[in-house]
Amino acid sequence: MALALSQSANSAIFAAMHFGSLTLKSNLFLSPLAGYTNLPFRLVVREVGGVGLCTTDLVNARSLLGKNHKALKLIETRPADSPLAVQLFGSVPEEMRDAALMLENLDVASIDINMGCPVKKVCKVGGGSAMMTELDKTAALVREMVNSVKIPVTAKMRLGWDDDNLTAPDLARALEDAGVAAIFVHGRTREQGFGGTVNLAGIRKVVEAVKNIPVIGNGDIITPQAAKKMFDETGCAGVSIGRGAFYDPWIFKRTLYFLADGELLPEPSFAERVRVIHRHLDLMIEVFGEELGCRMFRKVAPWYAKRFGPCHEFNKRVVQISKRAEFHQVLENYIRWRRQFLDDNGELQPRFRPPPMVASFMREPASTQREQIPVPKGPVEVW
């Protein structure tokens, strides 16, 4: 793994990273978020800049092989959406191998395997041998995939079942032996769900467990400072950002600048947020059609609004849109309504500004009780 900083003609800063046979423009990754990391969102993030590799939502290997419409939609891509990793989910080795081959033929850049949690609850009482059996089986499945394709195969895992079963270092070591090109690790246990603090020391143990491959840290990175702290305290080679990118598609660009020279770019202006939200909806409509694209956008728009300042007027109306024109009307009305909170320069008055974002692992212990980043409903056990 090698990391190099360079400065392009337009002064954008890139931290290039070797990732298996790929060279990525940066060591910042977009995490898979089922229901969210579709083609329009990935294109938005790429256009704003700074991301090295984007991953799709998790895709069921069997559905993909069966050419299921939903599975094919999940891997829909275009040249601007590159390099792209597809995350696969499945436990039948032949299906995982064949799905990997299919993706390689479609020019996907890399394949990520969703490991969810490596240990079933029963293993907690079943003891070490049960865990090793599971681990051997997993490693065999991965080895078969790695040997069948030339593109990098990676794995994404949590730290383990609970604090007494932090199995990720062992699993990472076994997967490195099986040939994975990188490990992504969300610094929480299955038991934690999305609550509590991301365990940086736990991620560090995974970094220390592998010999040569990069480990990418993940969890609660919602500011450039949080990304830096994760790099500094875990020694990880890259960081992967999920929900933080939904609040703030600009997070990759701002993080690259911050890592390169400590410069914290200002948060994007309201006008820039409005520009990007329009672009995002246009892409949703291009990819999903007007009716479905607008319906899907009902759950996307409120994420942008979290940094608008007072936004209940917007959130109340945007969940009813079915047409592009309706969205434009909602936004126009909201912009008019929002004026009451502005000062003479058109900026939000200080008391209406959203509070600064602080990652779980950057907060004072007393304030970590309530999880700050919302978690939409879904199968947490596989995330």
Ligand X SMILES: Cc1cc2nc3c(=O)[nH]c(=O)nc-3n(C[C@H](O)[C@H](O)[C@H](O)COP(=O)(O)O)c2cc1C
Catalytically annotated residues: 117
Beta strands in the chain (DSSP E): 3-7, 13-19, 22-24, 28-30, 53-60, 84-89, 110-114, 153-160, 182-189, 215-218, 238-241
Interface with ligand X (CB under 6 A), residue total 24
Q: Mask of contacts with ligand X, 135-174, x by CB under 6 A?
A: ---------------------x------------------
Do you find a cis peptide bond into 310, omega within 30 degrees of 0? no
Among 52, 244, 249, 302, binds ligand X (CB under 6 A): 244
CB of 41 to ligand X, least distance (A): 12
Residue 230 within binding range of ligand X, rule CB under 6 A: no
Task: Retrieve residue 268's tokens.
Answer: 């994007």
Query: How many beta carbons lie within 10 A of that of residue 366, not counting itself?
Result: 6
Q: Which is nearer to ligand X, 34 or 330 (CB)?
A: 34
Among 243, 254, 280, 317, binds ligand X (CB under 6 A): 243
Among 312, 329, 378, 381, binds ligand X (CB under 6 A): 378
SS (H, E, C) 162-229: CCCCCCHHHHHHHHHHHCCCEEEEEEEECCCCCCCCCCHHHHHHHHHHCCCCCEEEECCCCCHHHHHH
Residue 190 within binding range of ligand X, rule CB under 6 A: no
- The DSSP bridge partners found for residue 217 are 185, 239
CB 230 within 8 A of CB 217: yes
Q: Which is nearer to ligand X, 48 or 330 (CB)?
A: 48
Residue 217 within binding range of ligand X, rule CB under 6 A: no
Task: Retrieve residue 376's tokens.
Answer: 């939409």
Q: Which is nearer to ligand X, 58 or 103 (CB)?
A: 58
Among 241, 281, 283, 318, binds ligand X (CB under 6 A): 241
Query: How many beta carbons lie within 10 A of that of residue 109, not counting itself?
Result: 21
Task: Retrieve residue 225's tokens.
Answer: 């400072």
Return the residues of window 69-98 that contact ligand X according to CB under 6 A: 87
CB-based burial of residue 298 (10 Å sphere; 0-12 exposed, 13-18 middle, 19+ buried)?
middle
Comparing every residue's Cβ against ligand X, the nearest one is 242
Residue 32 within binding range of ligand X, rule CB under 6 A: yes
Among 26, 60, 110, 114, binds ligand X (CB under 6 A): 114
Among 219, 238, 268, 293, binds ligand X (CB under 6 A): 219
Residues forming the site for ligand X (CB under 6 A): 31-35, 57-58, 87, 114, 156, 186, 218-221, 241-244, 373, 375-376, 378, 383
